[in-house]
Structure 1
Amino acid sequence: MKSSKSASRYAQALLDLAIEQNKVEAIAADMKYMATVCAENRDLELMLESPVVKADKKIAVLNAVFDQFDKATASFVELIVKNGREAYLPQIAASFDAILKEHQGIIPVTLISAQKLDDKVKNEIVSKVQASTSGTVELTEKIDPDLIGGFIVRMGDNQIDASVASQINKLKQRLTS
């Protein structure tokens, strides 16, 4: 995996540029589109990582694929390729979204449950998470039948595990120790 530290630095520089030029929405849309295209097209990623393909050819391909990009985004992508960092582009695009959310005070929260939770329970969990943070919660739901019951809440590096599977494992450890 590419260096996430480098990708984060480039993404932060792009966000600073977007704020300076008052083009945050346009550049955010460009980066989201780039992340989607790179995730769906392995050949594009392989081309970006290839040392055989020259920088000018990579720039030409990227300009053709992303011809609707804002001028600032296109210039940034070209600069990244000229500096030999084009393999970082998919990760820069993903990091940009995370850094932008942090800048806007949006906190991504993942709620994993054994089955779809009803709205009342979901809203109760979100309100408790919201009370413990200073920002807007952006909820993503996932279903994992292996949990048996209960839920797991992930917010950044923090995790609250209230799943039945976790409780069974803890009980098993206590009994076998």
Structure 2
Amino acid sequence: MKLSRAASRYAKAILDLAIDKKEAAAVNEDMKSVLTTVHSNKELQDFLKSPVVKTEQKRGALRQVFSKVGGITIGAFDLIVDNQRADILGDIATKYILLYEEMNKREVATVTTALEISPELEAKILVKAKELAGTEVTLEKKIDPSIVGGFILRVGDKEINASVNSTLGELKREFADKYSIE
């Protein structure tokens, strides 16, 4: 996953402030909430990206949507909106979580599925992710209907692609190679 340099800088600054205030864990929970909400809500993404929406409207909307977050996160929202970077809020949250997990010697594993997964399946995936990472792992779940079924598990630079979409692509290539007309 390629995140912008700006997102990385904001995330690092937020983490530094949160560490100084001894609120890094609380801000991490806030950022998980931000990430989940932003990535699952296309309308919110469009709203934050829109150049037509005024700064005060974006600030008000973020405060209303995330009414339960702490002061550091609210301050980060204000700074991001004032600097007209609300469009990268999801990336900032992602990078913050990665930095926080790295600081705590944990790896972030991302599992992408077509539908919501059951707690039993999530536990099995977490075991496999820990095995791949060789360390403690935090599981981040994403839903992408385009994979049709199965899952894609990413841990660091390792990936297990057991999606239906990937399998169909492999079959298509095999048939094309085997039955190509010369």
What is the one-letter code of the residue matched to 2:103?
Answer: H
Map 1:1-177 to 2 at 5 A: 3-109=3-109, 129=132, 135-138=135-138, 154-158=154-158
State the AA in 2 paired with 1:103.
M
Which residue identity lines up with residue 14 of structure 1 in the other structure? I
- Looking at structure 1, the residues matched to 99 and 90 of structure 2 have their Cα atoms a distance apart, in angstroms, of 14
State, as a whole percentage, how many aligned pairs show the same letter: 34
Q: Do the aligned residues in 1 keep the contact of 2:27 with 2:73 (CA within 8 Å)? A: yes
Query: What displacement does 1:111 show?
Result: 8.9
Q: Distance in 1 between matches of 2:78 and 2:129?
A: 41
Measured against aligned partners, the alpha-carbon deviations of 1:97-130 in whole angstroms (never above 9, x if no partner) come to 1111111100235799xxx99x9xx97x778656
Q: 1:92 offset after TM fit, Å?
A: 0.8
TM-score of the superposed pair, with normalisation by structure 1: 0.67
CA contact (8 A) 1:2 1:91 kept: no
Q: Distance in 1 between matches of 2:130 and 2:59?
A: 47
2:15, 2:97 → 1: CA distance? 9
TM-score, normalization by structure 2: 0.65
Q: RMSD value over aligned CA atoms?
A: 4.1
Count of residues in Structure 1 that have an aligned counterpart in Structure 2: 161
Structure 2 residues without counterparts, runs of 5 or longer = 113-119, 142-146, 162-166, 178-182
Partner Cα separation in structure 1 for residue 130 and residue 86 of structure 2: 41
- The residue type equivalent to 1:21 in the other structure is K
Deviation at 1:18, TM superposition (A): 0.8
* 3-state DSSP of counterpart to 1:108: strand
* Residues 15 and 100 in structure 2, CA contact (< 8 A), matched pair in contact too: yes
**How many Å separate the matches in 1 of 2:61 and 2:130?**
46
Q: What SS is found at the alignment partner of 2:108?
A: strand
Q: Secondary structure at the match of 2:73?
A: helix
Give the match for residue 180 of structure 2: none
Cα distance in structure 1, aligned partners of 2:140 and 2:13: 27
Runs of 4+ in 1 over 3 A off after TM superposition: 108-112, 125-130, 137-141, 152-155, 158-161
Structure 1: give runs of 5+ residues left out of the alignment.
Answer: none
Say which one has the larger Rg.
1
8 Å Cα contact 2:130-2:136 kept in structure 1: no
